[in-house]
Amino acid sequence: MNIAVKSPTPPAVSANVKSWLAKPKKLLIGGEWVEARSGKTFAVEDPATREIIAQVAEGDAADIDRAVVSARKAFESGPWHRMLPAERAELVWRLGDLLAKYGDELAEIETLDNGKPITHARAVDVEGSAGMFRYMSGWATRLTGETIPVSSPGNWFAYTVREPVGVVGQIIPWNFPLMMAAWKLAPALSAGCTIVLKPAEQTPLTALRLGELIMEAGFPAGVVNIVTGFGETAGAHLAKHPDVDKIAFTGSTEVGKMIVASAAGNLKKVSLELGGKSPAIVFPDADLDTTVAGTASAIFFNMGQCCTAGSRLFAHKKVFDKIVAGLTSEAGKLHLGHGLNRETTLGPLVSEEQHRRVTGYIETGRKEGAEVVVGGSAVGNRGHFVAPTVLAKTNRDMTVVREEIFGPVVCVQPFEEDDLDNIARFANDTEYGLAASIWTQNLTRAHSLARMIKAGTVWINTHNWGDAALPFGGYKQSGWGREMGKEVMELYTETKSIGARLV
């Protein structure tokens, strides 16, 4: 099957986004937009065309220091410190409303910066981010402690209160730039923390537009500080900063381990959302149409650049050929193109580095004996496009089965057994534990297997689904802690016990 980039040329960028891109992109520190201390900037490219679309301030350690001072000041004194929970809730909700109001513009910026199809950017990234702020706003007024019946001799009144953890550093990746900012900022703000946010160097733009909306919403100066720059400089300095109380990170497991080591200096709290190698397990009784479309989307959505991507597909021998044929056909239906074209369903990978990494993995797969059923190469001659790829004849020892590829590449394997213990064993045969999906109409099998899989999320007859109310995070090397839902508030609050002797 010949897969090509069908619409590489974008339509004209809207006038308001064009003029926004042309303006200087500075750091948000203490409520002001400022240049990096060094005066340096870096270029941001459109990954579909490789054209430079903006120059952004290159913050480093000196700028992180300034941002932490401003976050500390805003946390310890001033209007944020004195604000009532309902007032915080109102601000966080208002920010969600502003995201919805400027949704078209945010989606356009996200697509230009990251490459993702604009229809996805609008419906998933922007709507999901607006929804996250609105959902999380509700927790500001619901952070309750408990009264505790103690058994110590005497007359005691004991209770707990929940308090914001303090100054929080947040380091986010490039696959869902706006949404990752929302996932991190929304609960931290509702809890009453102040923040220094470091976006990924590949995709800093929507975070900067979000910074403008944060100021428009009326958050006091210094509550949210945004320092664009590089991981090795700005990110590393934030992770080890002695005046940061907590660091929240999403990205590679490799950098996650470095964050843990850096955080040890002042024993700051750490939460990590890392990689995955999620299995999709297809039983013979699964609804075939739903399963083919669902497992294709599990790996091709966002060009496979999802930490939860269904990258290991296990199909029962009875349906294996049909599933592989279905995936191949779905791959052929994808419309590769510039994300701003509304018919595009598969954009480029985010960067040259990611393109090299993903095509390198495909080559390694070939050398190790995998069969390329469809795709298997770079496509187009301008952007970082990779064809949607199905690899068969794969096994547990292959690099492509063991390591996170983070591209539109699925490894398919047949299985014969019906014993759920064995099935759980191969599903769990990975150092990761982020997500899994089970495709069957048998409820007993689905829910029994769901409990046997070591992953933070298990889907039944769907994949890559989530809701702001549902906790999300990883077992094993996929991370520490849970984002979203009620559980995320644990990450951004401390519990204080108060014991009073009643005399």
- Residues carrying an active site annotation: 273, 307
Q: Checking DSSP bridges between strand 269-273 and strand 479-480, what pairing results, if any?
A: antiparallel
CB of 425 to ligand NDP, least distance (A): 24
Instruction: Single out the residue of 1, 9, 39 nearest to residue 344, CA to CA.
Output: 9
Residue from the set 166, 169, 231, 375 that interacts with ligand NDP by CB under 6 A: 231
Contact 40, 27 (CB under 8 A): no
The reply to whether 239 sits near ligand NDP by the rule CB under 6 A is: yes
Q: Any contact of residue 406 with ligand NDP (CB under 6 A)?
A: yes
Which of 74/309 has CB closer to ligand NDP?
309
Crossing angle, helix 103-114 and helix 205-217, to 10 degrees?
A: 160
Which region among 61-69, 120-128, 187-195, 250-258 touches ligand NDP (by CB under 6 A)? 250-258
Dihedral (Cα; 232, 238, 241, 243), 10-degree rounding: 170
From the list 32, 146, 232, 363, which residue makes contact with ligand NDP (rule: CB under 6 A)?
232
- Of 115, 131, 169, 173, which lies in the binding site for ligand NDP, with binding defined by CB under 6 A? 173
Q: Do 320 and 327 meet the contact criterion of CB atoms below 8 Å apart?
A: no
73 is a site residue for ligand NDP (CB under 6 A): no
Number of H helices, E strands in the chain: 18, 26
Kindly state the tokens that stand for 171.
């380091």
- Closest approach of Cβ 180 to ligand NDP, in Å? 7
> Could you give phi then psi for residue 271, rounded to 5 degrees?
-130, 145
Least Cα distance to 87 among 167, 195, 235, 190 occurs for 190
Nearer to ligand NDP, 167 or 319 (CB): 167
The dihedral sign for the CA sequence 162, 168, 173, 175: positive
Whether 198 and 229 have beta carbons less than 8 Å apart is answered as: yes
**Least separation, in Å, of the C-beta of 173 and ligand NDP?**
3
> What is the pattern of x (binds ligand NDP, CB under 6 A) and - over residues 286-305?
--------------------
Q: Which range touches ligand NDP (CB under 6 A), out of 99-107, 225-233, 336-344, 485-493?
A: 225-233
DSSP string, 275-315: ----EEEE-TTS-HHHHHHHHHHHHHGGGG--TT---EEEE
CA 51, distance to chain mean position in Å, is: 25
Single-letter residue type at 84: L
| Three-class DSSP labels, 391-403 | EECCCCCCHHHHC
- Tell me if 200 contacts ligand NDP by CB under 6 A: yes
Rounded distance, CA 225 to CA 73, Å? 12
CB-nearer residue toward ligand NDP: 59 or 166: 59
Which of 121/446 has CB closer to ligand NDP? 121
Q: Report, in Å, the least distance between residue 353 CB and ligand NDP.
A: 7
Binding window for ligand NDP (CB under 6 A); candidates: 41-49, 170-178, 338-346, 386-394: 170-178
Answer yes or no whether residue 213 interacts with ligand NDP by CB under 6 A.
Answer: no
Q: Which is nearer to ligand NDP, 93 or 361 (CB)?
A: 361
Interface segment toward ligand NDP; rule CB under 6 A; list 141-149, 248-256, 325-333, 334-342: 248-256
449 binds ligand NDP (CB under 6 A): no
Site for ligand NDP, rule CB under 6 A:
171-175, 198, 200-201, 230-232, 235-236, 239, 250-252, 255, 258-259, 273-275, 307, 357, 404, 406
